[in-house]
A and B are shown apart, each in its own frame.
Chain A
Amino acid sequence: MMTSVSESPPRVPPTTPPVGRPRRRISGIWWLILPGLLILTFSYFVPMLWVVRMAFNRFIGGGGIELTFSFDSFLEVFTDPYYFKVAGTTLALGCWVAALTIVVAYPLSLFLARTTSKYKALLTMFAIAPMLVSSVARTYGWMVVLGNQGLINTVLGGLGLTDRPIQLSNNFTGVVIALVQIFLPYAVLAMSSGFGRLNTDLEQAAASLGANRITRFVRITLPLTLPGVLTAALLVFVLTISAYVTPRLIGGGRVFVLAAEIYDQATNQLNWPLAAALSIVLIVIFGVAISLYQILQKRVERRMSGL
Chain B
Amino acid sequence: MADSNFLDVRGLRKEYPGTTAPAVADIDLGVREGDLLALLGPSGCGKTTTLRMIAGLIDPTAGTIEVGGRDVTKVPVHKRGMGMVFQSFALFPHLDVSANVSFGLEMRGVKSAERRARITAVLERVELGHLADRRVGQLSGGQQQRVALARALVVDPTLLLLDEPLSALDAKLRESLRVQIREIQQASGTTSVFVTHDQDEALSMADRVAVMNNGIVAQVGTPAEIYERPSSIFVATFIGRANLFDVNSLAGGVVDVAGFGKLAVAASPSPHTSTTAMIRPQAITVVPGDETAAQSLSTPGRPVFDGVVRSTSYTGDQIAYRVDVAGTTLDVETSASAARLLAQGDRVRVSWLSDDLRLLGE
Contacts and interface: CB of A to CB of B under 8 A. Distances in A.
A16 interface: no
A7 interface: yes
Interface in B97-141: 103-104, 107-108, 127, 134-138, 140-141
B92 A202 contact: yes
Given A5-B176, A224-B94, A304-B93, A204 B84 contact: yes
Given A205-B90, A209-B151, A210-B81, A5 B107 contact: no
B255 to A, nearest CB: 46
Given A197-B93, A201-B88, A208-B56, 10 more contacts: A4-B127, A5-B142, A7-B141, A7-B170, A199-B90, A204-B90, A209-B151, A212-B78, A220-B92, A306-B135
Given A205-B84, A220-B92, A7 B142 contact: yes
Interface string B61-94: 0000000000000000111111110101011111
Interface residues of B, number: 44
Nearest to B80: A208
Contact of B93 (A206, A211, A212, A224): A224
Contact of A209 (B96, B104, B134, B172): B104
Contacts of B136: 306
B155 interface: yes
A4 B93 CA distance: 24
Interface string B128-171: 00000011111011100000100110010000010000000010
Contacts of A7: 140-142, 170, 173
8 contacts: A6-B140, A199-B88, A205-B148, A206-B103, A209-B83, A209-B104, A209-B155, A304-B93
B155 A3 contact: no
B135 A206 contact: no
Contacts of B141: 7
A209 B150 CA distance: 12
Contacts of B55: 204, 208
A160 to B, nearest CB: 45
A207 B161 CA distance: 13
A223 B179 CA distance: 35
Interface string B241-271: 0000000000000000000000000000000
B135 A2 contact: no
A307 B88 contact: no
Contacts of A223: 94
Interface in A1-24: 2-7
A223 B94 CA distance: 7
Nearest to A8: B140
B183 interface: yes
Contacts of A5: 142, 172-173, 176
Contacts of B103: 206, 209, 211, 219
Interface string B26-55: 000000000000000000000000000001
A197 B93 CA distance: 9
A210 B93 contact: no
A224 B91 CA distance: 12
B107 A306 contact: no
Contacts of A206: 92, 103
B179 A2 contact: yes
A20 B57 CA distance: 65
Contacts of B183: 2
B237 interface: no
Nearest to A2: B180
Contacts of B140: 6-7
A267 to B, nearest CB: 49
A205 B86 contact: yes
